[in-house]
Structure 1
Amino acid sequence: MSSENGRADRPPAEGAPGGEQLALIRETVRRAKPPRARPRTWRGAELAPRDPVARVLVDKGLLHLDRLFDYAVPAAMDAEARPGARVRVRFGAGERGGRREGGGLVNGFVVERCAESDFPGVLAPIAQVLSPEPVLTPELLRLCRAVADRYAGALADIVQLAVPPRRARAEKGGDARSAPPPPPSPPAPGPWARYPEGPGFLRALAAGEAPRAVWTALPGPHWPDELARALVAALASGRGALAVLPDGRAAARVDAALTALIGEDRHVLLTADAGAEARYRRWLAVNRGTVRCVVGTRAAMFAPVRDPGLVAIWDDGDSSHRDPHEPMPHAREVLLLRAAREGCGFLAGAHGRTVEAARLVETGWARPLVADRDAVRAAAPLVRTVGDGDEARDPAARAARLPTLAWSTVREALALGPVLVQVPRRGYVPRLACAGCREPARCAHCAGPLEAAGGDAPPGCGWCGRAEPAWRCAECGATRLRGRVFGARRTAEELGRAFPSVPVRTSGRDHVLDTVPERPVLVVSTPGAEPVAEGPGYAAALLLDGWALLSRPDLRAAEEALRRWLGAAALVRPHTEGGRVVVMAEPTLRPVQALVRWDPAGHARRELAERAELGFPPVSRMAAVTGPPEAVADLLASADLPPGAEVLGPVPLPPTDPGRPRRPGSAPPGERWERALVRVPPGGGAALAAALRTARAARLARREGAPVWVRIDPEDIG
């Protein structure tokens, strides 16, 4: 209540008119809320003399249990059960709000210590302090909470991704009080001088500012040095720096460039190749503040760098940047959250440009870092196209399945150095068809696709692995097979016969080469596994079977094809030194023309304009809801979706092929699942994630119906 002069009226005294009602309200509130008191524990354990209550994040990645639980701190654990420490607690045993969740010891993290608890029952004591090392810092906890909210996931699942598993021997070394080394001197621009705004970007970082940029790197071997100089510029301001790379080979190149600039022991490399103990020891050095620069792969997006001045990501379109575990966060989005929350600089670099990066530029959140056209033409190789219908006139070229232009390019380039051949598919002949009627060859046992593992091996099923030595076509009765798609090993075999005096090497999932020498050699590689050629680079590159990349039923097919082509073509020496690239795809297609002109930024702008017209991400925010039809319908009906939300579908999903690993959110073999897409306008993503998260948590708490998968910003919406 307020008086006319704007001051609050005093409440009536208990004896005055209306005072009895006020006294009744106060008594009701007093009885409904029990007094906060010193907690009682099982077995009468002696409690810590100060702040005897620990709020613990239990390692249970369930949405309906996504909260902190109170535990009593025994006096013997007072010094070690500090905030951020790992503990073991008895979860679900005894009285927990009138229900039992199931007993047992589980791991957790102490989030805070306090004097009192709101829990009215008896608090269980902490069973064990696994380590007093404060690994879950308040800054890291806030980041994990923000990521969990963005992706409609559980906080415990994000913390599990952010904090590596403990290795006791690694915690024994190092001193938490050690100071980091003094800041290095600001770096010289070096190859950044090729970009009009490159030197200014470095100066802004060194001055303590927070510039944000989308960097389209020039082709050639200089990008690791350029990224390293950006990290050193942030270090020169007395702040930290973080770079996330798509794989260990790329991270090792940036690691070597950083070492050449500032020496050893001033940064750490966080990759799986280092081993669990060494990686944890390096992570602890970052967490303790003794190292302030991190270069690593996907998990490094959560590295606890203190006072970061720059967070950077290279090749954000690579699928390895999305974590395969719940709730599947993307490194680019995590770094964007860090840049916004911590007020640091941001850099997204690649030879190409994703539509998400183009969106950052279009909205003005980040500025483009690009070279002028003269610099691009000077650094890029000459790109020529060959249509699928072009026939080879040379018999040797026909034997190698190469058009005349590609054949002559390889023959001439081998006199100058190594030649790269990119093949979209691995294996020998991953898809076979009937030689008579051209129908796909299927396994008689499970109807899976037949493939050839080698020249003399009988065809086998790609699903169940059974051999089919006596295959017969079910349509026409023919017994002869022909290849529909040829893999990297078959291509290497054919090139070896066509160029018998030249060694042929392969690089793919089973064995990835890091480098190849500067001499004539044919390198057959799958996309992403291309080794770096020593010296000036490859003399030429062939990009085979472009149709296989462009014909994928995916919204990102064109963007992904161009990204893979640019990644391979960037390893070729400039055209002024004889570097040439031949791409086998329809010349009139947009990504092919973007490669010929070396214009990834223009291609990304046009792709973004089409997405905006259709209302697809990243212009809008979208979530995929997947599960049995009844469960999907129930979740969508119970969710309080934000205004403007549009439900697309649901549509049936194909079941997982027998014998293949099941991805999260995919339909089990033999079951009927559906997927619905929920789309909201820009600015509604947080409300959409919160609504779906709440509805899913309610279903889990009631234990009603089948589980439903929720994916925020799914990549495969095509």
Structure 2
Amino acid sequence: MTQPSDDALLPLEAVRPPAPTKDTSKDTKGAPVPAPENPVARVAVDSPLPHLDRLFDYLVPAPLHETAEPGVRVRVRFAGKLVDGFLLERAAESEHEGRLTPLERVVSPERVLTPEISGLARAVADRYAGTLTDVLRLAIPPRHAKAEAEPPKEPPKEPPKETPQKPSQEPSREEEPASAWDAYPTGPSFLDALRDGRAPRAVWSALPGAKGWAGPVAEAVRATLDGGRGAVVVVPDGKDVALADAEFGRLLGPGRHVALTADLGPAERYRRWLKLLRGQVRAVVGTRATMFAPVADLGLVAIWDDGDDLHAERLAPYPHAREVLGLRAHRTGAAMLIGGYARTAEATQLVATRWARPIVAARTTIRSLAPRVHPSGEDAELARDQAARQARLPSIAWRALRHGLDSGPVLVQVPRRGYLPALACHHCRTPARCVLPPTRNAAQLAEAPLCHGPLALRGGHAAPYCRWCGRVDADWRCPSCGSPRLRAVVTGARRTAEELGRAFPSVLVRTSGRDGVLATVPAARALVVATPGAEPVAEGGYAAAVLLDGWALLGRADLRAAEETVRRWMNAAALLRPAAELVVLGDAALPAVQALLRWDPITHAERELGDRAELGFPPAVRMATLTGVASAVRQMLDEVRLPPDAQILGPVPVDESGQERAMIRVHRAGGAALAAALKGASGVRAARKTPDVVRVSVDPLDLI
């Protein structure tokens, strides 16, 4: 006899199969049941096509009603494929007459896109003739599920404010340290405006000296936080982020700010970004992507050294951090601070139109802190001794380095990286070019054209190689005279360090550049050879400095060559001690050298702005460039509906690849119309599926 099962011992009702439950997510016809309120979701679909740059309506199913909130990431079906998107808003009705496609799922309930950043992204896309999707790709970092799932930590407690002392109490003998802004006549009022919740806009010409720029910026951020608002600070690179991060931690206290750089890795970067989004901290410093940081109650946006090309985004639509922060300050009513040792023409334009006010120290203060500049023109090259000849330095530079080494480190700025990045024939001075085919395929060697790239050297005992194709040409001979000997046209930082090491055999030589950037160096005796932008901060300041090869900076075929030269020179000179010797290899009659001599970047910037207004170049006008295959550029110029006052320059060849570039300029008031026209033309080409892409760039930095 078999043993009864456990189910046989239960009542009859208990062993019956459960009745099928009704699927409430679908109606009787199998269609999804819409959400009870605002069942229409307007989604920005991740598509780079400009003619699809608009919001698309989707149906919010009832199961997603609670999680499908504005700002979340979603997955939708678009053109037969599952793609990502951002839900921007919910609506009660849709203008679409047909049936709406339902949302597939909500990727995460985290509302990563705030209304303020959404509106800013739309404004940036319109400003630069781009798409909303491209800007959101720059503004919102990729999701990291593990970091997002971590429970939020308690926000740090604000330090207690000091209570005023009673009259009977004896006052403290320790005086509060003076603010760095006291050195500027309008500096204290700027801080007071930030504490009071007002929105001052300023262009700040920072004073040189070992104290640096990070301290005043940290004070401005602290004043903003004291006023109950948040702050966003954008700096050029990771070295500057490290300096500002240390100063912020000292002045603001632990846990009251975050630093964002690409070196953090996806998890840590997303974790810190979430702290800003969730309101755990209200201050951030970082590189250019930080311009979109989701700081609530924004009270201050600041950018340091806005002339640095690292502030220009390399991805479409190529926005500049200064312009994005300016748009953000205008839209949110926040204050803005544009700081630097030098001044750009764009910042000067803001002062000239009274959009911003200048913050400048008195001339007596500037003269007491600025270094003593000694220009060395071509005539000084004749006065050399043996040691100076080995280091290719004029005697005045040799003496400055030798005297500076008696009291601390000295700085040598070299405008070119590498060893010998440019070579020429030793006999006839013909530039050395690659005469090898760029391919190594034996079947294609006979038909491949010659490379003609520039030759360079990686070291003192290396064979010349091509900087374009990378092939080594040990048997090179000059095509003009047949000589196998080469000479240096441009000397790089590593070769300079090698020469200085021979000239000063008992001195430690440090290098800072592409192969490794030093943030700081000790106050000990040393030679520091650095490329522009990679100069480390010396403890107590440098005792002397030499700026080599000024002709290499001033002689570039670039609209911003003089402005960029002054910026690089002043950034290096600002690291010196007060009244330290600074030798610049350049003619004293040049305006750029004069700006450094008088430490007067403002007059130089005003002159630059006046010249550009006369010639019709940014920022006096708005300009866009079209770059692509010649036929595509010309076709787009024929089809685009430009504003009536638009002027077309070109197109002209860009390089030997067959690409051309055309420039279009309009008055500043017509910038929005120009961007809209170019975006519309790009959309038409994308809708036609035209194979040749034309790159559109509005107000680019490179106008050579």
Q: Structure 1-normalised TM-score?
A: 0.88
Query: Within the alignment, does 1:493 sit opposite 2:482 as a pair?
Result: no
Identity of aligned residues (%): 58
Work out whether residues 370 and 599 of structure 2, in 8 Å CA contact, stay in contact via their aligned partners in 1.
yes
Q: Secondary structure at the match of 1:542?
A: strand
Distance 1:543 1:40, change over 3 A: farther
Residue in 2 that maps onto 1:711: 697
CA RMSD of superposed structures (Å): 1.9
Q: Which residue of 2 aligns with 1:88?
A: 75
Query: Displacement, 1:41?
Result: 12
Contact 2:224 2:299 in 1 (8 A): yes
1:477-508 alpha-carbon deviations (Å, 9 max, x no partner)? 11111111110110000000110000111110
What is the aligned counterpart of 1:216 among 205, 222, 234? 205
Residues 544 and 238 of structure 1: is their aligned pair in 2 closer, same or farther, counting only changes over 3 Å?
A: same
- 1:463-612 to structure 2, matched below 5 A, reads 463-534=468-539, 536-575=540-579, 579-612=580-613
Q: CA deviation at 1:74?
A: 2.5
The secondary structure found in structure 1 opposite 2:219 is helix
> What is the rounded CA distance, in whole Å, between the counterparts of 2:265 and 2:284 in structure 1?
16
Structure 1 segments of 4 or more deviating over 3 A?
Answer: 38-43, 178-189
Query: Which amino acid in 1 is paired with 2:104?
Result: A
Unaligned runs of 5+ in 1: 1-37, 94-103, 656-669
Distance in 1 separating the partners of 2:28 and 2:593: 70
AA of the residue aligned to 1:92: A
Farther-moved stretch of structure 1 (694-703 vs 321-330): 694-703
Cα distance in 1 for residues equivalent to 2:180 and 2:160: 19
**Cα drift, residue 307 of structure 1:** 1.6
What residue is the counterpart of 2:145 in the other structure? 168
Name the aligned partner's letter for residue 585 of structure 1.
Answer: G
The aligned residue for residue 123 of structure 2 is 146
1:28 match = none
Give the aligned partner of residue 30 of structure 1: none
The C-alpha deviation readout for 1:449-471, integer Å capped at 9, x for no partner, is 11111111111111111111111
Identify the residue that residue 13 of structure 1 maps to in structure 2.
Answer: none
For the 8 Å contact 2:53–2:132, the answer to whether it is kept is yes
- Decide which of 359, 362, 366 is 2:349's aligned counterpart: 359
Query: What's the counterpart of residue 324 of structure 1?
Result: 314
Secondary structure in structure 2 of the residue aligned to 1:241: strand
Q: Of 646, 656, 661, which residue of structure 2 is paired with 1:675?
A: 661
Q: Which residue of 2 aligns with 1:702?
A: 688
Alpha-carbon distance change, 649 to 188 in structure 1, aligned in 2, over 3 angstroms: farther
- Contact 1:208–1:309 (8 Å) recurs in 2: yes
Tell me the secondary structure at the aligned position of residue 577 of structure 2. Answer: coil
CA shift for structure 1 position 267:
1.2
Report the CA distance shift for 1:634/1:170 in structure 2 as closer, same or farther (over 3 A). same
Query: Quick one: structure 1 residues 600 and 276, their matched pair in 2 at CA, closer, same or farther if it must change by over 3 Å?
Result: same
Match of 1:133 among 110, 113, 120: 110
Structure 1 residue 122 displacement after superposition? 3.3
Q: Which position in structure 2 is the counterpart of 1:338?
A: 328
Out of 181, 188, 198, the residue aligned to residue 199 of structure 1 is 188
Q: Deviations over 1:632-667 (max 9, x none)?
A: 233223222223211122222114xxxxxxxxxxxx
Q: Distance in 2 between matches of 1:697 and 1:39?
A: 38
- 2:463 maps to a residue whose letter is P
What residue identity is the alignment partner of 1:193?
D
How many Å apart are 1:175 and its aligned residue?
4.0
Determine helix, strand or coil for the equivalent of 1:684: helix
Shift of 1:682: 2.1
Moved more, 180-189 or 581-590: 180-189
Are 1:77 and 2:59 counterparts? Answer: no
Q: Give the distance between the partners of 1:525 and 1:254, measured in 2 at CA.
A: 21
Partner amino acid for 2:64? M
What does 1:626-645 align with in structure 2 at a 5 Å threshold? 626-645=627-646
How far apart, CA to CA, are the structure 2 residues paired with 1:279 and 1:41?
47
1:106-121 alignment runs, 5 A limit: 106-121=83-98
- Return the alpha-carbon distance in structure 2 between the equivalents of residues 253 and 516 of structure 1: 13
Question: 3-state DSSP class of the match of 2:378?
Answer: coil
Structural mapping, 1:306-317, within 5 Å? 306-317=296-307
- Report the equivalent of 1:377: 367
Alignment length (residue pairs)? 651
Q: Which residue of 2 aligns with 1:276?
A: 266
- Residues 430-465 of structure 1, C-alpha deviation per residue, up to 9 Å, x if partnerless? 111111111011112111111111111111111111
Structure 2 residue matching 1:147: 3-state secondary structure: helix
Match of 2:293 among 297, 303, 316: 303
Report the 3-state secondary structure (helix = DSSP H, G, I; strand = E; otherwise coil) of the residue aligned with 2:480: coil
Counterparts of 1:42 and 1:143, CA distance in 2: 42
Question: Which deviations, in whole Å up to 9, do the C-alpha atoms of 1:351-409 show, x marking residues without a partner?
Answer: 00000001111111111100011100111111101113422431111011011111111
Could you tell me how far 1:273 is from its partner in structure 2?
2.5
Amino acid at match of 2:180: P
Inter-partner Cα distance in structure 1 for 2:156 and 2:418: 48
1:25-44 per-position Cα deviation (integer Å, ceiling 9, x unaligned) = xxxxxxxxxxxxx9999962
Partner of 1:396: 387
Say if 2:428 is the partner of 1:442.
no
Q: Cα deviations across residues 81-100 of structure 1 (Å, max 9, x unaligned)? A: 2111111112102xxxxxxx
With normalisation by structure 2, the TM-score equals 0.90
Q: 2:466 aligns with which of 455, 461, 482?
A: 461
Q: Equivalents in 2 of 1:322, 1:189: separation in Å?
A: 35
Letter in 1 for 2:113: L
State the alpha-carbon separation in 2 of the partners of residues 406 and 185 from structure 1.
Answer: 52
Task: Evaluate the alpha carbon distance shift between residue 161 and residue 344 of structure 1 in structure 2; reply closer, same or farther with a 3 A threshold.
Answer: same
Cα distance change on mapping 1:224 and 1:179 into 2, 3 Å: closer
Q: Secondary structure at the match of 2:542?
A: coil
What is the alpha-carbon distance in structure 2 between the residues aligned to residue 511 and residue 262 of structure 1? 30
Cα separation, partners in 2 of 1:524 and 1:222, compared to 1, 3 Å: closer
Secondary structure of 2:588's counterpart equals coil
Residue in 2 aligned with 1:6?
none
Distance 1:180 1:110, change over 3 A: farther
Distance in 1 between the 2:684 and 2:362 partners?
Answer: 55
SS at match of 1:683: helix
Give, in whole Å, the separation in 2 of the partners of 1:59 and 1:140. 17
Which of 19, 43, 48 lines up with 1:56 in the alignment?
Answer: 43
CA distance in 1, matches of 2:687, 2:114: 29
